[in-house]
Amino acid sequence: MNYRFYIAFFIIFGIGTSAVFLVSSGYYPVAIVNGHFIPAKSFAHDYSIASTYYKNLLKAGNASSSAQTSLTEDQIGQSVLSQLIENALIDGGVRKEVGGNLNKMIDEKVNQAIAFPDAEKAISAFYGITLEDFKKDILVPQAKRDILTGNLLLKGEKIDDWLQTAKKSSSVIVLSGRFYWDGENVGVR
């Protein structure tokens, strides 16, 4: 009988340790879009990219103009979460539209986008990330959006109309105390 107690203790300890590790590593969802989890780790990473980009944009803008409005952390976070939700919706839509040819099309678009001298140096300086992260976090979602836009245009539809319909008809749950989903957009509490 004593063995049952020890077995139960180690099982509970293992589950607790795993939960602490997953939460501390950011592997919990900040939002769920049609059953697809958006991990807090992705949100934090994209937030860092957006903040670095915005700070560098402000620095570059200070040289050209004196009157600028600055965004708050919540506004940047709202924009990042909105973009992650749109990316999840677009990912599902483009996979339905294109099918198996998608990866080849994405690779072509990504390679075209970085085909300039010193791309890696410029990306690192302006975004504060590596070329591989830039491809994964910025260029691939943009390529998917462009591909979906092209397919929709061939059908006589617009991406904005498609996104609006997709947002209304999708199941989006925001699991953050700072943000909420109003049925079409992310809001700040």
Domain of residue 140, CATH code: 1.10.4030
Mean pLDDT, range 145-157, rounded to an integer: 94
Query: Which residue segment(s) compose the domain that 152 sits in?
Result: 30-188
Residue 128 lies in a domain: yes
Residue 174 domain flag? yes
Domain assignment of residue 131, yes or no: yes
Number of domains composing the chain: 1
- The whole-number pLDDT of residue 63 equals 54
109 domain-assigned: yes
Question: Is 83 domain-assigned?
Answer: yes
| Residue 24 burial (C-beta neighbours within 10 Å; 0-12, 13-18, 19+) | exposed
Residue 14 lies in a domain: no
Q: What is the mean pLDDT of residues 136-163?
A: 94
Is residue 18 in some structural domain? no
pLDDT band at 154 (very low <50, low <70, confident <90, very high): very high
What own/partner pairs with CB < 8 Å and gap ≥ 24 does 45-48 have? 45/137, 46/80, 46/83, 46/84, 46/137, 47/76, 47/77, 47/80, 48/128
Examine the pLDDT at 22 and tell me if it is beyond 80: no
Residue 23 inside a domain? The answer is no
pLDDT digits (tens, 9 = 90+) for 86-121: 999 999 999 998 878 899 999 999 999 888 888 888
